Structure 1
Amino acid sequence: MPGWLRPRAGQCHHHRAGNARSAAGHEARRGGWARNTTRMIAQGGVAWRIEVHATLPSTSDIVMGAAEAGAEEGLAVLAYVQTKGRGSRGRNWDSPSGNCFVSVLLRPGGQITAAGAWPLIAALAVADAVLPLLPDPARLSLKWPNDVLLGDKKLGGILIDLAADSAGRLRWLVIGCGVNLAIAPTLPDRMAACLRDEGVDSPPPQLFARSLLASLGKWYMKWQEGELAWIHASWLARAHPIGTRLHVRYAGHDLHGHFAGLSPDGHLLLRITDGIQTISSGEVMLAVS
């Protein structure tokens, strides 16, 4: 199973744990949403039920628990601070107040073998929410399987959790999105960006989440209508160009090659010296020139 599936312009500020709760309280009031409340919105064809919390260990863990308890799709959980946020490949996700941390529950059905579409769908939704805010939209790009970049820095990430029945049919799917609005956290292996770095007056997390959910609902409808080719083409239009040099850590090996597109299942195609390698799981980095 793919590893991403789990069965300064001087304006960005580093996170200080000591003031996280008070900052979260401020964010919970900013934009008019009280903490620990539920809001109902119908956007993008989905009746979203948004739970807002000042602090949670992990929004995805909360939504997965609700999924196992039988919650209907459309549940979205937003936290102003996560204390045990998760990133891809088991990494911790630094989750300071001021950024957007939201996880949603969908029950799309279909086979688990088709799950490669969901990181693409989620990335497109994040891009749709971010692009209108940027003074230079061309700086935004998508990197397989789950990164949203500004230039060569990470603006956001996506984590997919899912469960399937014995026949391999999806029972539920949880999409976790983390987007750096006001703060660029320190990452161990790459540089991070935030919207405030771009001179953007970063929106309150709950307002950004509304835009994100509206876009996610739109792309979910495209998937339901069988528009997988359109989803792939839209993702490729926002990804780094075909031919971009990539370094991939895959199945215990380091591969170097050039981006050659997506497979029908949404996997990465890497052109190497002896042909095209299909990558279903791995850590992908833009090669240093």
Structure 2
Amino acid sequence: MSHKIHRALLMAVMPMNWKIHHVKSVDSTQHLLREKAVSGADEGTVVYADKQTGGRGRQGRQWDSPTGNLYCSLLLKPECSLQEAGLYAFIVAVALANTIEDIIDTDGIQPKLKWPNDVLIEKRKCAGILLETETNSKNIVTHLFIGFGVNILPQEEGDRIGLSDYAEGVLRETVLNNFLKNLEYFINIYRKNGFLEIASAWRSYAFGLGERGRARTASGEYHGVFKDLDDDGALLLLLDNGDIKRITAGDVYFEK
């Protein structure tokens, strides 16, 4: 069962003062947002572009960014540890899943969240998330740059899929505005109640939970069953020898 928002609750959360900036073309919305932060941009600053010429994902991977999809970055100033800042990837993912689920609104089809940062529809990638940080001399995160891309254009083949494959007349601005409302709600849930409710919501969308897979990390490759999400967002992999391996960074692939 998904963790969809009760809309009345949106009225009860602390408002976030989003300041939205639109540009036609940019090398990267993350880069542009960093420039705005240097100039003193407030928390809640949002930039989105029609096109990116140098879009990127995790680990510096290129993100193909043709005109028509949503490419966006937003700024938070959480004043937290690096470990806690990483939890915002799950908050963003749940907000995106809620947004996408409302838009596609198709019986039997639910977006899925693939650890650590992808949103899938029917096993094809619809959206991705990128977190970058700046810290002070005490290693406290002062700026959290959250980048995400959502495929809106129809995707006829390959491992990607777009919202327009399921719904007509999808507008980037509608996706963005609905996402920001959902994100605001889940940020407030997290700041009031901690990560447990976010983790529960993430599990309700989890791709591959209970299935066999492999995790490729800097220390090696591990095979086992995706058992759960740990309290700090780590993936818990039940290895064939019965041990539990905590995966905190890397890529996960499932056999099905």
- Common fold by TM > 0.5: yes
1:121-149 per-position Cα deviation (integer Å, ceiling 9, x unaligned) = 11111111111122136331101110000
Letter in 1 for 2:72: V
Q: Does 1:73 align with 2:40?
A: no
> Which residue is equivalent to 1:277?
245
2:216 aligned counterpart, secondary structure: strand
Over 3 Å counting, the alpha-carbon distance change for 1:241 and 1:94 in structure 2 is: closer
1:54 aligned counterpart, secondary structure: strand
Query: Unaligned 5+ residue runs, structure 1?
Result: 1-42
Over 3 Å counting, the alpha-carbon distance change for 1:168 and 1:185 in structure 2 is: farther
Q: Does 1:144 align with 2:105?
A: no
User: 99, 114, 126: which one pairs with 2:84?
Assistant: 114
Q: What aligned pairs does 1:34-73 form with structure 2 within 5 A after superposition?
A: 45-73=15-43
> Which residue is equivalent to 1:35?
none
1:248 aligned counterpart, secondary structure: strand
1:230 aligned counterpart, secondary structure: helix
Higher relative contact order, structure no. (Cα contacts within 8 Å, ≥ 6 residues apart): 1
Letter in 1 for 2:155: A
Check whether the contact 2:238–2:244 (CA below 8 A) recurs between aligned residues: yes
1:202-256 per-position Cα deviation (integer Å, ceiling 9, x unaligned) = 4221221111111111111112213310001110111125312222111152222
Over 3 Å counting, the alpha-carbon distance change for 1:165 and 1:226 in structure 2 is: farther
Check whether the contact 2:190–2:197 (CA below 8 A) recurs between aligned residues: no
TM-score (norm 2): 0.89
Aligned CA-pair RMSD: 1.8
Give me the whole-angstrom Cα distance separating, in 2, the residues matched to 1:277 and 1:111.
23
1:122-177 per-position Cα deviation (integer Å, ceiling 9, x unaligned) = 11111111111221363311011100001111111000011112222111101111
Q: Does 1:164 align with 2:135?
A: yes
2:65 aligned counterpart, secondary structure: coil
Give me the whole-angstrom Cα distance separating, in 1, the residues matched to 2:154 and 2:132.
25
Give me the whole-angstrom Cα distance separating, in 2, the residues matched to 1:64 and 1:184.
31
Check whether the contact 2:111–2:122 (CA below 8 A) recurs between aligned residues: yes
**TM-superposed deviation, 1:63:** 0.8
Over 3 Å counting, the alpha-carbon distance change for 1:204 and 1:44 in structure 2 is: farther
User: 167, 170, 178: which one pairs with 2:149?
Assistant: 178
Percent identity (aligned): 32
> Which residue is equivalent to 1:154?
125
> Which residue is equivalent to 1:239?
206
Give me the whole-angstrom Cα distance separating, in 2, the residues matched to 1:52 and 1:210.
13
**TM-superposed deviation, 1:197:** 2.0
Q: Does 1:84 align with 2:51?
A: no
Check whether the contact 1:94–1:185 (CA below 8 A) recurs between aligned residues: no
1:124 aligned counterpart, secondary structure: helix
Q: Does 1:133 align with 2:97?
A: no
Q: Flag as ranges the 4+ runs of structure 1 deviating above 6 A.
A: none
User: 183, 186, 190: which one pairs with 1:223?
Assistant: 190
1:35-90 per-position Cα deviation (integer Å, ceiling 9, x unaligned) = xxxxxxxx972110000111111111111222233211000001011111111121
Give me the whole-angstrom Cα distance separating, in 1, the residues matched to 2:233 and 2:146.
16
> Which residue is equivalent to 2:7?
none
Check whether the contact 2:101–2:110 (CA below 8 A) recurs between aligned residues: no
Of 100-109 and 177-186, more deviation after overlay is shown by 177-186
Query: Unaligned 5+ residue runs, structure 2?
Result: 1-12
How many residue pairs align between the two structures? 242
2:17 aligned counterpart, secondary structure: strand
Letter in 1 for 2:117: N
TM-score (norm 1): 0.79
1:5-56 per-position Cα deviation (integer Å, ceiling 9, x unaligned) = xxxxxxxxxxxxxxxxxxxxxxxxxxxxxxxxxxxxxx97211000011111
